[in-house]
Amino acid sequence: MSDEDNGSSRRQVMGAVGVGVGIAAAAAALAGRAGAQTTPAAPLPDGAPKISDPRDKYPKPPFKQQRQPWPGLASKMDPKPDHGELSYKGTGRLMGRKALITGGDSGMGRAAAIAYAREGADVAINYYPTEEPDAREVIDLIRQAGRKAVAIPGDLRDAAFCRRLVADAIKGLGGLDILVSNAGRQQAHASILDISDEDFDATMKTNIYAPFWIIKAALPHLPAGSVIIGTTSEQAYDPSEDLYDYAQTKAATMNYVKSLAKQLAPKGIRVCGVAPGPIWTPLQISGGASPQKQMTFGSDTPGKRPGQPVELAGIYVRLAEDDGSYTTGNIYGAGGGKGQP
């Protein structure tokens, strides 16, 4: 998530390390800290594709009860989420592209940042200042992939910062053609009566106002062929009773994707969305789920587990790559079998 501290300096970090060397270095650095590890598939005959059983690929509930102050750190979760640090291998699908990702320190934003860099894109990430430890890991991974990395901490609830964010990303990257509006605020409340005006305002500004401000600032600089990707949610289709404010922002995200896609098609700019189901991210342990829901998180899916951020990385890549040129106004789901969209 992004945060603005008036005295905070924004960092730009650039690296030029070989892709192969970078992935090896990332593996060495993260091997002892990686959370969920893939369960090896049963041996297959020579030449057969290597596949894994999705039911057992990642941890299942019950999970340890844990709580962190909002917005939380992925590096302190138990188990740690898998963003593709050790597993995602790129093939040059985004070579030379320039991406800005909000919420790029953890969750789907981090998975997209890692994948984009390993596919050949330069990447700027935005996040809240207290998420600096997670963000540093992502910046290092982008550099190790041999790509340019730009770190821009700040508070997305501030319109002026959102405009500076775009300007700093364009300056640091030398342009912009992929915008991923991913940062989100989620706080669970049993009753609408428990939601203060300040809480409601913070959720709306983070999830709805910020994309509005950022897209407006970025649009004059996006060339034909660019793509805007919004992160919506299963909550847009099947809202939970304790996510009254968050769920309506995700429905609004789904709708702005569809509306903006029609508006920008004549300019050659695509707009798409990703709708995750239950994904294991810091949202869940920093107020986004009740203690009981947190312990059983993902158990209501047919696979009986939550998804990991890396399981959506390929979707973000597919929507951004040039071969996806006929995909606009569409929402791609990863719901673990729950159906929508």
Q: Is the peptide bond before 71 cis (omega within 30 degrees of 0)?
A: yes
Angle at 174 between CA 170 and CA 178, to 5 degrees: 60
As a whole number of angstroms, the distance between CA 312 and CA 335 comes to: 10
Catalytic residue flag (residue 246): yes
Please tell me which residue in 58, 88, 237, 246 is annotated as part of the active site. 246
Q: Using CA atoms, how far apart are residues 270 and 230, in angstroms rounded to an integer? A: 11
Residue type, 19: V
Residue among 46, 127, 133, 141 at smallest CA distance from 87? 141
CA distance 273 to 331: 4
Q: How many residues does the chain have?
A: 341
What SS3 state is found at 13?
strand
The single-letter code of the amino acid at 94 is L
CA-CA distance, 118 to 248, in Å (whole number)?
A: 34
Q: Which residues of 243-280 are buried (b: 16+ CB within 10 A; e: fewer)?
A: bbbbbbbbebbbebbbebbeebeeeebbbbbbbbbbbb
Could you give the residue numbers annotated as active site? 246
